[in-house]
A and B are shown apart, each in its own frame.
Chain A
């Protein structure tokens, strides 16, 4: 059983559309991170959320941590081809420094 389930697995949309991707778990976490990974590169950290219900914005990206700190969403407004990539969520278990990544959402934005 995957600790972090991400959905959808794949998403292909037209430039200018909005989208939301999800990261879900049955476990509670102290914090959650979102990364974007482009082909041939390592993941790059986008944001860390730590408080239940927290909302963070990064330009056209809006991140929300669930009230119960079990899930998170990433919403992109007016997607652009530069948003194309693999979006990953990651958590650490309390008392460890071991990062666990989700399965990822592969986003393709068509011009």
Chain B
């Protein structure tokens, strides 16, 4: 069956530009997570959706970062006024439900801000 997919796989942008990263979760998975992984580090939690609502957005670093999941399936992570420090791999994961259910990760989007 289809796993979690993320597009684009690579994104190169210039400082100050706006970017959108897309996540297609496994069909039927109600929980969706975004993480950011810097080189040599473990994934860092950004935001968790249960259905359409952001149940926990405490990991978003500042107000330049925003994520939506309008129909409870596909999610988009939006970054405004990108900075060089935003360069990282952005990972998306989905699970059948919250807490304790196995998370299935996508391959990530590698974002490079020049």
Contact = CB atoms under 8 A, between A and B. Distances in A.
Chains A and B are bound partners = yes
Main secondary structure of the interface of B (DSSP, over half): loop
Interface stretch (A14-22, A35-43, A63-71): A35-43
B105 A99 contact: no
Interface string A89-111: 01010001111111110100000
Contact of A99 (B33, B50, B55): B33
Most chain A CB within a 10 A radius of its CB, from B41, B50, B102? B41
Interface stretch (B13-21, B66-74, B79-87, B93-101): B93-101
B106 interface: yes
A40 B98 contact: no
Interface in A24-83: 31, 40-45, 48
A97 B41 contact: no
Given A43-B105, A45-B102, A103 B56 contact: no
A104 B55 contact: no
A97 B106 contact: no
A102 B42 contact: yes
Contact of A43 (B43, B50, B59): B43
A98 B41 contact: no
